[in-house]
Amino acid sequence: MLTSRPRGTNDILPGEVEKWRYIEKIIGQICYEYGFEEIRTPIFEHTELFQRGVGETTDIVEKEMYTFIDRGERSITLRPEGTASAVRAYLEDKLFAGPQPVKLYYTGPMFRYDRPQAGRFRQFHQFGVEVLGSNDPALDAEVMAMAMDFYKRLGLRDLELHINSVGCPECRPTLRNKLQEHLRPYYGEFCPNCQGRFERNPLRILDCKNPRCQELGAGAPTTLGCLCPDCGEHFSMVKKHLEILGIPFVVDPSLVRGLDYYTHTAFEIMTRDIGAQNSIGGGGRYNGLVEMCGGKPTPGIGYAIGLERVILIAENQGIKFPTSEQLQIFVAAAGTGAQELAFKILFKFRQAGFAADKDYLGRSLKAQMKYAGKTAARFTVIVGEAELEQGMLVVKNMSTGQQENVYINQVVEYIQNLF
């Protein structure tokens, strides 16, 4: 008998799932207010989509994707992130033909073969947003403000917004040359992955998690020192719009997002409440991704937030999530003659919109009343044979202990009045 789930996965059980529903409710509300519409994409895509979109030199593509060959001999990958899929849908489903910009959001499971640790799983859940069709720096500020607003509504504290500009194809060659010149003397000391990235994409070396590579990359030239005039102006306007909104930020020249599609603005939200200072969400602008996936040049920006990490931080900060709504009505039956009527009344309560349940284990009335107390039901409706002869039921208020006899055909209306 198989009794354990795969490593890096998690069961979300009753008592926990209410936290997720609460967060999802906030996501739906904030996306409505900011003008985003929901999109739901497949859990798996053709592998080439992520190789192209995410980047062949990234850790995700090189080491973390769940990829397999299906029965049609096609290479398929469980989605490791949501942006590439959203861009594919934007092109395939011709969302570009409608009003622009297109503002999308999604929630759902993602998959990466990563080392499981606090708040990090191999199957994890993300909330993400994408805006396609505008290069306005005010949008950069809007999505960052939206992410911070999401955390604020959950009650999270002590968060820092870190921002940077990673340039564009015009200024990247300058950075590439400076990075290679700076890092070349240490080539032999880099990990094999970074040695492979040295010629293909030296910027990825700065995102390596290997401690020695991080040490060797310290003091390397930064993107901010290599920006072309357009990128410099765009970044200045992003900062100005954040200041207009009164959102504090830290300019972090060392910030390099882990995906190749980023251009211009990159940002991360940091916290210290999951150990060392770490990112709990982030994103940036990806003005070349649509073209990379076969479309016309189209600017885009978005972010993604890992929900497991959000819940972990909220719990570490002592934030209380709303508990599940208690059972409203428990229907108890005393004697075999009362079972059919109890079953019928149970469904009448449900049809009237109440959360109602009954015993299905053949317990005695005493045991049923004890069980009703454990369910925290607000009222217990007792169907007893003696009362049935008079066409009555007993309604018990479980918090006060008070009981009332109520006619069978009036019990639903009676309970409605109590609520």
In a domain, 97, yes or no: yes
Last residue of a domain, one of 266, 286, 316: 316
Position 279 confidence tier, pLDDT thresholds 50, 70, 90: confident
Average pLDDT score, the chain = 90
Whether 11 maps to a domain, the answer reads no
Query: Domain of 262: which CATH number?
Result: 3.30.930.10
In the DSSP assignment, the letter for residue 248 is -
Do both 117 and 253 map to the same domain? Answer: yes
Q: Which domain CATH number covers 406?
A: 3.40.50.800
**293 and 406 both lie in a single domain:** no
Please tell me whether residues 241 and 303 are part of one structural domain: yes
Q: Lowest mean pLDDT of 155-169, 225-239, 257-271, name the range.
A: 257-271
| Number of Cβ atoms within 10 Å of the Cβ of 77 | 21
pLDDT tops 80 at residue 409: yes
Provide the 3-class DSSP secondary structure of residue 151.
helix
Within-domain flag for 270: yes
User: In this structure, are 258 and 279 located in the same domain?
Assistant: yes
Instruction: From residue 76, give the alpha-carbon distance in Å to each of 27, 72, 256.
Output: 30, 10, 28
Q: Are residues 297 and 335 in the same domain?
A: no
Q: Are residues 265 and 349 in the same domain?
A: no
Give the pLDDT confidence score for residue 276 in this predicted structure: 54
In this structure, the answer to whether residues 306 and 339 fall within a common structural domain is no
| Same-domain pairing of 256 and 333 | no
> 305 has which bridge partners?
127, 281
| Residues 6+ away with beta carbon under 8 Å from 181 | none
**pLDDT, tens digit, for every residue of 186-217?**
888 888 888 888 877 787 777 777 888 888 77
Residue 299, domain member (yes or no): yes
Lowest mean pLDDT among 273-287, 312-326, 342-356, 361-375: 273-287
Residues 376 and 238 in one domain: no
Phi-psi bin for 406: left (phi > 0), alpha (psi -120 to 50), beta? beta
pLDDT for the residue numbered 56: 66
Classify residue 12: in a domain, yes or no.
Answer: no
* 100 and 53 fall within a common domain: yes
Domains contained in the chain, number: 2
Asked if residue 1 is part of any domain, the answer here is no
DSSP string, 347-389: HHHHHTT--EEE--S---HHHHHHHHHHTT-SEEEEEEHHHHT
Residues 255 and 404 in one domain: no
- Beta-strand relationship, 37-38 and 102-111: parallel
Range of the domain at 304: 17-171+227-316
Region 332-343 average pLDDT: 88
Does residue 134 share a domain with residue 37?
A: yes
Q: Which of 132, 97, 102 is nearest to 288 (CA)?
A: 132
- What average pLDDT does range 305-310 have in this prediction? 94
The domain boundary residue, chosen from 268, 285, 316: 316
Q: What is the pLDDT of residues 182-193, one digit of tens each?
A: 888 888 888 888
Q: So what's the pLDDT on residue 85?
A: 96
The pLDDT of residue 273: 67
Please state the pTM of the whole predicted model: 0.85
CA pair distance 350, 17, nearest whole angstrom = 22
pLDDT band of 114, cuts 50, 70, 90: confident
Structural domain ending residue among the three candidates 250, 285, 316: 316
Q: Find the range with the poorest average confidence among 46-55, 255-264, 362-371, 382-391.
A: 255-264
At 76, give phi and psi (nearest 5°).
-120, 145
Taking alpha carbons only, the member of 387, 389, 369 closest to residue 379 is: 369
Reported as a single tens digit per residue, the pLDDT across 78-102 is 999 999 999 999 999 999 999 999 9
Residue 62 banded pLDDT, cuts 50, 70, 90: confident
User: Residue 208 falls within a domain, yes or no?
Assistant: no
Report yes or no on 221 lying in a domain.
no
